[in-house]
Amino acid sequence: MKKYNFLLFLLLILTGLTSCDNGLGTPKSESHTTAHEYDPSIPQNKSAATPDIDLTQKESNRWIWQKPELVIRKLGNLDNKTVVDIGAGPYGYFSFIVAGKTSAKKVIALDIDEEAVKFMQDARKLLPDARRDKFETRLVKPDDPMLNPSEADVVLIVNTVTYFNDPVDYLTNLRRGISEGGRLVIIDFKKRTTPIGPNLSDRIAIGELEIILKKAGYRNIEFDDRTLDYQYIVTGYK
């Protein structure tokens, strides 16, 4: 039932968000094997699943606390840009918003969960015909985003960076796939008690993330811990 509820929700996203013409387009480790949550009838490979937020919090609530329209604006001008969403599963939440409602040239939704990739690929048909061809899914490795050199102009990582086995190594490797001057946007839970989100032990403090990004070679790091109530937004540039 959750699968079909989300398909309905996705349709509402794609028909209800402010369009790019109105400004929206401008502005895992083995030690943590939490699975994406699907309808129980859908087979899952839990050992391959990427972690996500507590999905007992319905996706409709996510609209309230994660403020996706504001998040998309934080990605900057997406005109003719390739946007990569790392850990996009289980349902491609931000990937479909970017593909359906911005002027991005291409959206690549990455996940290490085969079921997540299959779901997103199947849900691609819900996009308008003119936007469907710019949406791509990829099954990748837990320690490698498998991007081509300089392939991405903007990379988005939501609720995922804390689960990289070696975040410095992963983000260093990721830099090779980002174009010169391109940006990385990381959104994750603040390291304090919040009504939703993972255990505090599974969170990275914003100051710790700054150290990680600097070690990985990112520059001009920007911090925003005010836009979202429960999460911070950190941006780094290649």
pLDDT digits (tens, 9 = 90+) for 144-153: 999 999 999 9
- 199: Cβ–Cβ under 8 A, 6 or more apart, which residues? none
Residue 232 has phi, psi (to 5 degrees) of -105, 160
Per-residue pLDDT at 37: 41
Using 50, 70 and 90 to split pLDDT, how confident is the model at 63?
Answer: confident
| Domains of the chain and CATH, by start | 2-237 (3.40.50.150)
Span 185-203, average pLDDT = 95
Q: How far apart are CA 96 and CA 214, in angstroms?
A: 30
Cα separation, 115 vs 191, in Å, equals: 30
Q: What predicted TM-score, i.e. pTM, was given to this entire model?
A: 0.80
Rounded Cα–Cα distance for residues 171 and 79 (Å): 25
Tokens of 127: 């996009």
Return the closest-CA partner of residue 154 out of 210, 103, 211: 103
Q: What is the pLDDT of residue 53?
A: 34
- Is 60 exceeded by the pLDDT of residue 72? yes
β-strand pairing of 178-189 with 219-224: unpaired
Does 125 score more than 70 pLDDT? yes
